[in-house]
């Protein structure tokens, strides 16, 4: 099943946030910072888009969303996507 465009856009936006903040593998972004940056006063993604994107990125090995609750650690495969 193909991913919805909004989810792919959310994944791309999350990766861009890591890039913008100079994050490297094993660096993290908090859930609060991520949500704040992705909304910027404008609702670009639904909560479902965001949650699906995080789950998808975790399954692809781009981020570790289980290491510490509320923290998303960038992995080597995710860094390669930036």
Entry pTM: 0.84
* Residue 26 backbone zone (phi > 0: left; psi -120 to 50: alpha; other: beta): left
Tens digits of per-residue pLDDT, 67-79? 999 999 999 999 9
**Domain range list for the chain:** 5-81
Please give the CATH number for the structural domain made up of 5-81. Answer: 1.10.10.10
C-alpha 67/C-alpha 58 separation (Å) is 11
pLDDT recorded at residue 1? 45
Tens digits of per-residue pLDDT, 3-60? 566 888 989 989 999 999 999 999 999 988 887 777 666 667 777 888 899 999 999 9
Three-state DSSP class for residue 82: coil
pLDDT recorded at residue 48? 83
């Amino acid at each position: 099943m193909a991913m919805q465009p909004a989810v792919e856009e959310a994944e791309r936006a999350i990766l861009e946030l890591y890039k913008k903040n100079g994050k490297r593998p094993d660096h993290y972004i908090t859930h609060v910072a991520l949500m704040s940056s992705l909304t910027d006063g404008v609702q670009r993604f639904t909560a479902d888009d965001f949650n699906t994107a995080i789950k998808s990125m975790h399954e692809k090995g781009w981020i570790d969303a289980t290491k510490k609750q509320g923290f998303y650690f960038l992995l080597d495969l995710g860094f390669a996507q930036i």
